[in-house]
Homo-oligomer: A and B are copies of this chain.
Amino acid sequence: MDQGNSGLRVEGFVAALGRALASGDAAAAAGLFGAECYWRDLAALTWNIHTAEGRDAIVAMLSATLATARPRGFALESSGATADGGEEGWFTFETATGRGRGHVKLVEGVGFSLLTALQELKGFEEKQGAARPEGVEWGAQRGRVTWQERRAREIAELGHSVQPYVLIVGGGQGGIALAARLRRLEVPAIVIDKLPRPGDAWRSRYKSLCLHDAVWYDHLPYLPFPAHWPVYTPKDQIGDWLEMYTKIMELNFWGATECVGARYDDAKGEWEVQVLRDGVPHTLRPTHLVLATGMSGVPNMPAIAGMESFAGTLCHSSAHREGSAWRGKHCVVVGANNSAHDIAVDLWEHEAASVTMIQRSSTMVARAETLRANGDRGPYSEAAAQRGLSTDQADLMVASVPYAVQPRMQKPVAAQLAHDDADYYARLRKAGFQLDFGEDGSGLGQKYIRRGSGYYIDVGGSELVADGRIALRAAVAVSAFGANTVRLSSGEELPADLVVFATGYGSMNGWAAKLISQDVADKVGKCWGVGSNTTYDPGPWEGELRNMWKPTRQDGLWFHGGNLAQARHYSRYLALQLKARMEGVATPVYALPEVRHRG
């Protein structure tokens, strides 16, 4: 670090960064950072979602991208102190092809982390605010085509005489949020879902289900929930919202449409996708295919001796509807994460004769009330909204923290949780429940990032486990089935009319295997996870979620998913990447990762 820069404050940093980049001097730019440093880029310089870690990586990234990206016009918007004694600032900038916003954090006066996030493409800005359409067409004109007629024509043509540029498979919040972004960017897109109506994926789940995240975290793009919307939206209500949203945003949603196969034609540079729409075969030829089939991928269903002769009902948690059919029956739920708890509670509420939870390995549990209280101090909260913090800004704040830095920030939070709710955790342990707070103590958020599972946000189930109303068998597995029993690895045999495997999901590229081919699934590799070298998230370190919202090793194939907040925020970058390609904007991709995990 150049001594002359050691006293740089945020304003100076941003100005110096601008000068270094303007002169194409990657080394000078990297020299503004400390020994530990990160530059996270969301499609602004790299046309990728990439974090350069350390000065050498920053030099490499800038050397490869500066000549084409030409970042410039850095202008500080605001700056201030951070809670940990550093300084931070927000800035705007532009590139050869777009406009972006960014964040810098200084520690001891030098660059620690930098975020550069593409916000819009020059010449292809969304028509909104002062640039919104007129609606009315001034003047008398013969052959007038109304909004209604134009929309009806689009519906009649798209997917038939006109091919969509993008086909999104999966019409949950992810597919719908992306389709909304693409609509506003005027990219012709169709979303297909095998269920009839938008929101049906939520409606069809067990009846007590509510969103596990609070409303401030859950807004979709463009149309925020109103001020009276409940904190944790009930499943049918979010279903109705998604249905309304799809209509109002004028999305081309094909319900009751199943994707049965897809093949990429390298010569034509387009997909041939076979779908069944209301059972009728139909071929679509999109240029890009987005799998938004749920970041959880294909259900994991183990093969266990005796399954075929089991006389009761066996299903994966995703297929379990609700408990009323199981009154007076013996029920076994395999697994101890969110779905397992919610289903066990639902069965208990419907007065099953017995409900036994089989915990195979340890689980992180956190009381929803405690998480809520923590959240109430964060950027997604009523307090933050009242302070004027927009959801877009909150998204960028969260995105500004590099994945590599998150565990050390989150360990104290998890430790505080363990301390504050110590009695509660003691009661759970006493009942035999196997608890953890993440392999490195980094808690729930990191479990989500690393494996998308391994936790339960407790809305009531843990009390039933603690006092035995839900029976618990821990550190065992199901080893065999009898006609009306389940045998555990401990040797115990349980009566069973219903066995629900809440055993999670494979990686999303399982969908690529299923819908396209195993070759393509292998070519793109595992999705999700950051290479933390923890359970279900093998190393080496990647620094970003694998394959999510960014180019993959298969041309024209993209993955989109995650919770409502991720669906909202990252759909922006995925939509901009697709729009740029449609418009012929050069999108040289920097650092397409090596594929290391085929699973």
B132 touches A229 (CB 8 A): yes
A130 touches B382 (CB 8 A): yes
Which of B135, B143, B148, B231 is close to A231, meaning CB atoms less than 8 Å apart? B135
Q: How far is the CB of A170 from chain B (nearest CB, A)?
A: 23
User: How would residues 444 to 488 of chain A score, 1 for a CB under 8 Å from any chain B CB and 0 otherwise?
Assistant: 000000000000000111011000010000000000000000000
User: How would residues 204 to 229 of chain A score, 1 for a CB under 8 Å from any chain B CB and 0 otherwise?
Assistant: 00011011000100000011001111
Chain B residues, Cβ within 8 Å of A385: 129
- In Å, the complex CA distance between A527 and B377 comes to 51
Residue A59 interfacial (CB < 8 Å): no
A140 touches B345 (CB 8 A): yes
Chain B residues, Cβ within 8 Å of A207: 144, 146, 148-149
Q: Which of A235-243, A302-310, A413-421, A539-547 contacts B (4 or more CB under 8 A)?
A: A235-243
Chain B residues, Cβ within 8 Å of A228: 126-128, 132-133, 184, 222
Which of B126, B184, B460 is close to A139, meaning CB atoms less than 8 Å apart? B460
B226 touches A223 (CB 8 A): yes
- In Å, the complex CA distance between A248 and B126 comes to 26
User: How would residues 103 to 143 of chain A score, 1 for a CB under 8 Å from any chain B CB and 0 otherwise?
Assistant: 00000000000000000000000111110111111111111
Residue A230 interfacial (CB < 8 Å): yes
Given contacts A127-B228, A228-B222, A234-B135, contact A140 B184 (CB under 8 A): no
A132 touches B369 (CB 8 A): no
Which of B140, B222, B234, B383 is close to A461, meaning CB atoms less than 8 Å apart? B140
A136 touches B349 (CB 8 A): no
User: How would residues 559 to 578 of chain A score, 1 for a CB under 8 Å from any chain B CB and 0 otherwise?
Assistant: 00000000000000000000
Chain B residues, Cβ within 8 Å of A147: 234, 236-237
Residue A368 interfacial (CB < 8 Å): yes
- In Å, the complex CA distance between A137 and B149 comes to 45
Which of B138, B140, B369 is close to A138, meaning CB atoms less than 8 Å apart? B369
Chain B residues, Cβ within 8 Å of A237: 135, 147-148
- In Å, the complex CA distance between A138 and B349 comes to 13
Chain B residues, Cβ within 8 Å of A135: 210-211, 215, 230-234, 237
- In Å, the complex CA distance between A148 and B240 comes to 10
Please give the number of chain A residues whose Cβ is less than 8 angstroms from any Cβ of chain B in the complex.
63
B236 touches A247 (CB 8 A): no
User: How would residues 241 to 257 of chain A score, 1 for a CB under 8 Å from any chain B CB and 0 otherwise?
Assistant: 10010011000000000
- In Å, the complex CA distance between A227 and B137 comes to 19
A231 touches B368 (CB 8 A): no
User: How would residues 314 to 353 of chain A score, 1 for a CB under 8 Å from any chain B CB and 0 otherwise?
Assistant: 0000000000000000000000000000000100111100
- In Å, the complex CA distance between A168 and B113 comes to 58
Given contacts A227-B128, A228-B132, A464-B140, contact A236 B146 (CB under 8 A): yes
Give chain A interface residues in 30-76, CB to chain B under 8 Å.
none
Chain B residues, Cβ within 8 Å of A211: 135-136
Chain B residues, Cβ within 8 Å of A248: 226, 240-241, 244
Residue A386 interfacial (CB < 8 Å): yes
- In Å, the complex CA distance between A248 and B239 comes to 11
B231 touches A240 (CB 8 A): no
- In Å, the complex CA distance between A368 and B135 comes to 13
B140 touches A463 (CB 8 A): yes
B227 touches A129 (CB 8 A): yes
Q: How far is the CB of A252 from chain B (nearest CB, A)?
A: 15
B208 touches A146 (CB 8 A): yes
Chain B residues, Cβ within 8 Å of A231: 132-136
Top 3 A-B pairs, shortest CB-CB distance: A135-B230, A136-B232, A147-B234
6 further A-B contacts with Cβ under 8 Å, apart from A130-B383, A135-B232, A223-B226, are A128-B226, A132-B228, A133-B231, A140-B460, A140-B461, A140-B469
Interface pairs (10), CB distance under 8 Å: A128-B228, A129-B227, A132-B230, A133-B231, A141-B460, A142-B349, A142-B350, A147-B234, A226-B248, A241-B248
